[in-house]
Structure 1
Amino acid sequence: MNLVLTTAAVPKKDQLAYWCEALAGTRVPMAVTPRGGRPFAGRLATGRVGCLRVATVEADAYRAGRTTSHIARSAEQFVGIGVQISGRTTLAQGGRRADAGPGDLYVYDTAQPYFLDHPARFSVRIVHMPRRALGLSDAELRRVTGTVIGTGHGCGAVLMPFLTTLVDSADSYSPTAAGRLATSVIDLFATLVEETAPATGAEEETSRGHLVARIRDHIDRNLGDPALAPEGIAKAHHISVRYLHRLFEDEGITVGRLVQRRRLEECARELGRSGRAAPTVSSVAQRWGFVNPAHFSRVFRGAYGISPREWRSVQAAWNDDGSGTFAAPERRSLHQLPG
C-alpha cells in the first residue's frame, strides 16, 4: 500500500478526530461514533490500482454514517465493494439492511446515504470504483447496493479472491497492468449486476426491445461520427459495454458490424444517386464515418462484390437507361466481410 495511517502514535483524546480525517482523505467523508466507550484504535492502508481506490481497514468497533451533507461535499462518487476479512459489518442503504461475515462481499453507493455498523473489532478490504466508469443505470445499481453478495458461486466466487489479491498487492503493478486490472474489476462487477437481473418475462422483453430500438436509432443518427463505437454507444444509454453486446446477441449481428453495415448502406444509397454534381467517392465515405478511403473500398467490395466506383458506374448506367435503380447484389455473410 502507498499510505498507512494508524492511531497508534496519536494521543487518545485525538484518535477519533484523526480517524475521521483519515477516512475522509482516503475514502469518503463520514461521521464516526465509537462503540463501547473504550479507547479507539484503527489502522488504514490505502493505495490505487488504475482508477480504483483500494484500502484495508482494521479498527475497533464503531458506527459510521454518510449523510446528504457529506455527499454534497464530495467531488466524486464511488460504488464500493467491501470484502469482510474478520468481524462483522451491518450495512443499511436504500431501505435495505444486510449483515456481512468473514468471506462475504457487500456493496454500497457513496452517492446515496448509507450506514455501517461494526459491532466488534473488524478487518475489511475496500475497493472503490468511480461511479462514472461503471456505465450502469441508477436502477441497475439499486439492485445490488445495500446487499451482501455470497462468494460460494457465480461472480461473487470470482470477485472475492481477485479483490483480495488486488488490494494486498496494490503497489506492485505497472501503470499499464493496473489500468487493465481496474477494467477487469469493473467488467466483473457489471457481470455481477447482470446476474441479479430478474428472470426474463414479457414486460422485460418489451423493455429490452425498446432499448434495442433506441440504440439502433442512436446509431443511425451518429453514423457520420468516426468515433462511433460500442463504448460510446453504451455510455450514451447508461449501460455497460458487456450488456450492450448481450442485447445484440439475439439480433444476429454485433454492434460493430451493425455500425459498419449501416454506413455501407448509406454510402451505397448516396453513390447511386443520379445527377451531374455527384460527390466524390472519398467525400461520401468520410460523410458516413469512414476515415480511410482504402479501408472503405475494401469493406464495400466485401459487402457488394464490386468497388464503390464500379457501383456508381452501374447505377448511373441504369439511371440513364431509364430502367430505375440497380438493385444491390446479394451481400456476403457479414462474418465474411473484411475487418
Structure 2
Amino acid sequence: MPDFRGLKDIDITFEKDFFPKIFPLGSQNGGGKSTLLQLIFVLLHCSIDEDKKPFIANMLQGFKIADGQDKRVLAIIDIWDGENLVKLGFNCCKKSPILEVVFDEDIKSEDSIDICYYSSAPKSNNNQEPNTKLQCHFTNQNKERVQSFLHKISRKTFLAAPSTQVFIFLPQHSRKLLFKQPSNGDNNYHGILESARYKLRGLFTYDFLAVDLLIKSFKDARDRDFREAIKTGSYGNSYQTIIKELNLLLGNKRINLNEDFSGVNFQLYNNGETIELYPEDLSHGELKRLSIYVWLNSRNIKDAIVLMDEVEIAFHPDWQYQIISDLKEWAPSNQYILATHSYELCQALTPAHVKEIEPKLIKQES
C-alpha cells in the first residue's frame, strides 16, 4: 500500500507457512492499524456485490489522483488460494476526458474488473458526482476465474471490531454525527452502524454478548440434531456439544437457553448451591470472550481471513495472552490479523509472527 490516508509505504507479508496463522499487527495510537484492516476488509468483502460497493466509495472519497497522471495504486493484495498466488492490484483511474456520460462506456479491459465509482473531491463537497473509478487489475489470470475468486473471498473475509471504533467505510455524514448530540431513530452514528451490519455480513462488533448469534447457534444445533434423527432414527448430539463447550468457557458458571428460545440465562454452581446470575454478574471480559467464540461458531468461520481490531480490550493480561490459544483451538484453519497494543498478546507468538507499522510500539523494559 503506497499511500492511503495516514498509511505510507506499507509492505507486509503474512507468511502462509507459519503456524499458527495468527499475526499481531502493532503500532502506537494513530499508526493506522484500524484503517489498514478496514481497507483490506472492504476491498475483499465488498468488491463483487453491488449492494456493498457504496462502502468502498465511502472509504475512498477524497482519494485523489495527481495532476498529470491518470492512475494511482491503492493497494496490491496477494492471496494464496491453495494452489496459486492470486495478485490483485486495486488501482484508481480518472474518468476518460473523451467520454461525456459515464464510465460504463469505457473500453472494457480483459485484465481488469471495474469495481465502483467514487468522488475524489474533498470530503466537505458531498454533492460532487463520481469522477474516479476503482479497478481490480490482474495478470496471467482468466477474468471469469478472478471474478469467481472475488465471490469466494468476499464470503471468506471478516472484520471484528469494537462498536466504538470509527468505521471510515460508513457515509461521511454519519461520522460527523459522532460530534453531535444523539437523536432518536437511525439518524445517529450507532443506528447507521447497526444498519450497515445487516448489509455487511462479515462485520461483527464484539462489545456485548451477541445474544442473537448465541440463540442462532442453539437453533442451528437443534436443527442438525433433528435432521440426524430423520436420517438415522436417532437424534444427534450437536445441541449438547455446544452447551458443553460454552460451559467449559465459563468455568463454574452455566448457560441455559430459555424454553421459548427468547433468550438465555446464566447460573453459578458453588459448593452444591445454584445461584441465578444477572448480566452484571458476568464481567465484560467473560461476555466478550463468549461472544467471539459464538461468532466464529455460529457463522461457521473456517478457512477465512479474520481481521480483528483491538481484541484485547476488556481482557486481563492473562486472557490477552490466552486469546491466541483460544483462536487456535476454536477455528485453527483461519488466518487472523490482530490490530493490537498488547505486549502480552504478542508474546504468545514468535517474534516473526508480530508485524509492526510506524510509529512502532515502544518496547517494555524487563
TM-score (norm 1): 0.25
**Greater RCO (Cα-Cα under 8 Å, separation 6 or more):** 2
Q: Which has the larger radius of gyration?
A: 1
Greater helix content: 1
TM-score (ref. length: structure 2):
0.24
